[in-house]
Amino acid sequence: MHPRIIRAIARKDALDLLLNKQTLFMLLTPIIMALLFLFLGNILSGSTTEMLVYDPGYQPSQPVGVEQVLKGAFSNAHITQASSAQEVADAFGANGTQKKSSYAVGLVVPAGFEASLKAGERPTLQLYINGDDVNNQQNQLLQSALADYSRAVISPAPIALSTSTINPPASKSVGDALAGFYALTALLSSFFIGMAVAPGLIIEEKEKKTLRMLMVSPASWADVITAKLLVALVYQLVLALVVLGIVKGFTGQIPLVLLFALLGSLFSVSLGALAGSIFKTQAASGAFSGLGVFIFITPLFFSDLLGLGGNNPFAQVIKVLPAYWLGDGVIKALENRATLESVLLDVVIVVGSTLLLFLISVWGLRRQASVVSEI
């Protein structure tokens, strides 16, 4: 293969996708859906999040501070300034205490917090969480935001975060289920792109009768196909990451979330390559891409997320779809309950299916290449 030729073809195809209004709208569709999920989530969780904060160094005119971090972690936050650390502690009680509280979050900031960080000391932030109002995902986002703020002051930040929780949330609260559902649905929906873009780029050459022209150029068949699949993979992976960012899906076991985003992107592009090796027209390929609704979305309704799996006969049938195992791995990672044993089967099935689809696609495309070269 020729790297320079592959880059040239990939650059041309990547620009063509952006300049074509139809394909550009298709690329924007997952982002629009993610924004819709974000909007729905904000509506359903639109109540004010009450916070009680004791920060002796608080200054209302300060442009950036711990208070701003708290407000940024929630869509509608209201902060009440406490007069002492004891007032915050009394409002929440000891760790694990089943106690009513009018506040969702409490925070005690030690005096001279930023100065202590810059001096290399290890100041402790005392964080209180009311599980009745703050789900696990929001808790993780809040802790990550506080750690990021400390790193912005000085990196690496020697911050210590002590967390106390009253009314611990149920293992799967409504808030967690909705957040996980939105993140999983948005991510799986984004995988439509790979299985739509890949065959489109391949079939385009068939419809325009330009394959023979490419074959007599310095570009080999492998160069052409590699460039087109790389374009589809890059667009697919970028959109998957953007969608996760919009719906705040970078939570839980983030490395595993990223791994399944990559595996899903590869699986999607392999499906697209298969379509490109079978069909000869964009219309036929588009009909196949429409099956993405069934391939990627249907399995999530029978995952552990919604509790419709188990012995449900239809759920057992759905398990033949690799997307079921892809969604299973994603939701386990998002909910921070994935172990090597629990996701190993998910990874093996998705990787194996991707390789099988890719090999079948390569075989079909090589047959076409041999036919073209003989013409």
Domain boundary among 135, 169, 203: 169
Return the residue matching tokens 């998705």: 350
pLDDT given at position 205: 74
Return the residue matching tokens 């068949």: 221
Reported pTM: 0.69
- The rounded radius of gyration (Å) of the Cα atoms in the chain is 25
Beta carbons of 80 and 119 less than 8 angstroms apart: no
pLDDT given at position 157: 60
Q: What is the pLDDT of residues 179-218, one digit of tens each?
A: 677 888 889 889 989 999 998 888 887 777 665 555 555 6
Domain boundary among 169, 194, 219: 169
How many structural domains is the chain composed of? 2
pLDDT given at position 259: 95
pLDDT given at position 351: 96
* Residue of 65, 373, 17 whose CA lies nearest to 222: 373
pLDDT given at position 211: 58
Same domain, 248 and 360: yes
Same domain, 285 and 359: yes
pLDDT given at position 134: 80
Task: Determine the residue type at 83.
Answer: S
Sign of the dihedral through C-alpha 145, 149, 155, 161? negative
pLDDT given at position 142: 82
Same domain, 324 and 206: yes
Same domain, 214 and 155: no
How confident is the prediction for the chain on average, in pLDDT? Answer: 80
Same domain, 143 and 183: no
pLDDT given at position 213: 56
pLDDT given at position 336: 79
Domain boundary among 153, 169, 185: 169
Same domain, 34 and 53: no
Q: What is the pLDDT of residues 293-345, one digit of tens each?
A: 778 887 777 665 555 555 566 667 778 889 889 988 998 888 778 888 889 99
Same domain, 95 and 127: yes
| 81/350 Cα distance (integer angstroms) | 50
Phi, psi at 125, each rounded to 5°: -90, 130
Return the residue matching tokens 């330009």: 210
Its domain, for residue 331, covers 3-40+175-374
Q: What residues of the chain score a pLDDT lower than 50?
A: 375
